[in-house]
Chains A and B, each alone.
Chain A
Amino acid sequence: MLAKRIIPCLDVKDGRVVKGTEFLQLRDAGDPVELGAFYDREGADELVFLDITASHERRKTVVDMAARVAEQVFIPFAVGGGIASTEDMRAILLAGADKIAINTAAIQNKRLISEGAELFGTQCIVVAIDAKRRSKEDPSQGWEVFIHGGRTATGIDVYDWVKEVEQLGAGEILLTSMDRDGTKDGYDNLLNKMVAEAVKIPVIASGGAGNLEHLADGIIEGKVDAVLAASIFHYKEYTIQEAKAYLKSRGIDVRL
């Protein structure tokens, strides 16, 4: 039985791990390689490194980080943040990353998804989507796709976009609820369920995990294949093993 996955997410800036609360406030939480190796030993199923560096040295920094991570981490890991060409993808994959997450660049240049999938395989291409409810109270109005780290509205509907990225060759969708990100109120499971039922590719829920129940709810109510969380693990509120034992107790298949 294919196990549901728990994925700690590490936001990285200038080679250091930080965690953004509602995308704006940053706190320093350590070395990405050390933290990655720690999560591997603890039983994390996968890692996502999201680079938010904004310098000219950015690409070199990211490739270098992927290479250093690959020396110490023996679970799959994805790298995202500012990747805008298949050359960038190739460099990061050759450094040892397993997957590339693209967000703004995928909206601006849809061919990046299909070309990446053709060159490296669909399993390498994760399309990350920042989704925001059109109305906080009325989910029937749907969700809109935002880019540039949540600063720019696109007018594109999340349902239309996930259908399109699947068609283009995305291997996985990393779905972040902007309404819930940083709130610790739980994932937006109406959003998760809507997307999980719209596509056949795996969906990773992100944004809002504040306790272990939230992780289980994402999988059971949101119907996602994997749950991503940051602060609840980074600040040692729960260990990965505690999270897995809890999911198991809720009848979810996990790798123990």
Chain B
Amino acid sequence: MIAIIDYGVGNLRSVAKAFEYIGHQAVVTSDPNEVLEADKVVLPGVGAFGKSIESLTKAGMVPVVKEVVTSGRPLLGICLGLQMLFTESTELFGDATAAIKGLDILPGRVLRFPESHLKVPQIGWNSITKKNDSPLLHGVAQGSFVYFVHSYYVVPENQEVIACTTNYGLDYCSGISYGNLFAFQFHPEKSSQVGLKILDNFAKLK
């Protein structure tokens, strides 16, 4: 059983429906015990970093996510679920920026796209360049297009975790794959056949 963590932000129905569509059982849950009992866990997320960490903390899910990662069970972060895995984010408040602590499971930072010459957020289909032979990208062609909606991107300290990169004004890390830990900046549940393939690869991990 795949557990999709519900901590009160955004629409999780699409992720669950995508797994169902390709024949895998997935449950959306806000119960920490149910997450701990699942074989695989999805950490979704939309919106602001600070608010999401706060919601995740309030929902009692911070130790749960860390426990899942140490236990060796596969975890899939989506969008903000990728960013939250890192040490900290530099979030914009009006004209000032402040550092906000993340889950610190992977060392690295989250930065905002430079607005001077880019449309921020990046919304739409962009391509990925595969890097570290992630099992989740098996059967996904080099240069495949996937769907993004984000204003911030991750900068991992350890280059080996990078599963794929994308170019939007600059080359940035659009996915990580490190042991049992997987996360993508794009939305596999909205990336048509390519996205469904990635979710299927995740669901079929041993």
Chain B, residues 28-49, CB within 8 Å of chain A (1/0): the string is: 0000000000000000001100
Q: How far is the CA of A40 from the CA of B17 in the complex (A)?
A: 15
Task: Answer yes or no: A15 CB below 8 A from chain B CBs.
Answer: no
Residues on A with C-beta less than 8 A from B167 are: 1
Task: Answer yes or no: B149 CB below 8 A from chain A CBs.
Answer: yes
Task: Tell me how many residues of A have a C-beta within 8 Å of chain B.
Answer: 32
B82 to chain A, nearest CB (A): 17
Chain B, residues 178-206, CB within 8 Å of chain A (1/0): the string is: 00000000000111110110000000000
* Given contact pairs A40-B192, A74-B190, A200-B119, A2 touches B147 in the complex (Cβ within 8 A): no
A225 to chain B, nearest CB (A): 7
Q: How far is the CA of A255 from the CA of B20 in the complex (A)?
A: 25
Would you call B189 and A74 a contact (CB within 8 A)? yes
B145 contact from A3, A123, A202, Cβ within 8 A: A3
Which positions 164-211 of chain A face chain B at CB distance < 8 Å?
A: 171-172, 200-202
Would you call A121 and B46 a contact (CB within 8 A)? yes
Stretch in contact with the other chain, from A17-25, A94-102, A216-224: A94-102
A113 to chain B, nearest CB (A): 16
Task: Answer yes or no: A133 CB below 8 A from chain B CBs.
Answer: no
Task: Tell me how many residues of B have a C-beta within 8 Å of chain A.
Answer: 29
The total number of A-B Cβ pairs within 8 Å is 74
Residues on A with C-beta less than 8 A from B190 are: 74-76, 98
Which positions 29-66 of chain A face chain B at CB distance < 8 Å?
A: 40-41, 43, 45
Q: How far is the CA of A40 from the CA of B47 in the complex (A)?
A: 26
Task: Answer yes or no: A228 CB below 8 A from chain B CBs.
Answer: no
Would you call B195 and A93 a contact (CB within 8 A)? no
* Given contact pairs A121-B46, A172-B123, A70 touches B145 in the complex (Cβ within 8 A): no
Residues on B with C-beta less than 8 A from A171 are: 121, 123
* Given contact pairs A75-B192, A76-B190, A255-B145, A96 touches B14 in the complex (Cβ within 8 A): yes
Task: Answer yes or no: A72 CB below 8 A from chain B CBs.
Answer: yes
Chain B, residues 41-71, CB within 8 Å of chain A (1/0): the string is: 0000011000000000000000000000000
Chain A, residues 75-117, CB within 8 Å of chain B (1/0): the string is: 1100000000000000001111010000000000000000000
A29 to chain B, nearest CB (A): 22
Would you call B21 and A72 a contact (CB within 8 A)? yes
Q: How far is the CA of A43 from the CA of B195 in the complex (A)?
A: 13
Chain B residues engaging chain A, CB cutoff 8 angstroms = 11, 13-14, 17-18, 20-21, 46-47, 119, 121-127, 145, 147, 149, 167-168, 189-193, 195-196
**Known interface pairs A71-B20, A255-B145; 10 further A-B residue pairs with C-beta atoms within 8 A, sorted by A's residue number:** A1-B126, A45-B124, A74-B191, A74-B196, A75-B147, A93-B11, A171-B121, A226-B124, A255-B127, A256-B145
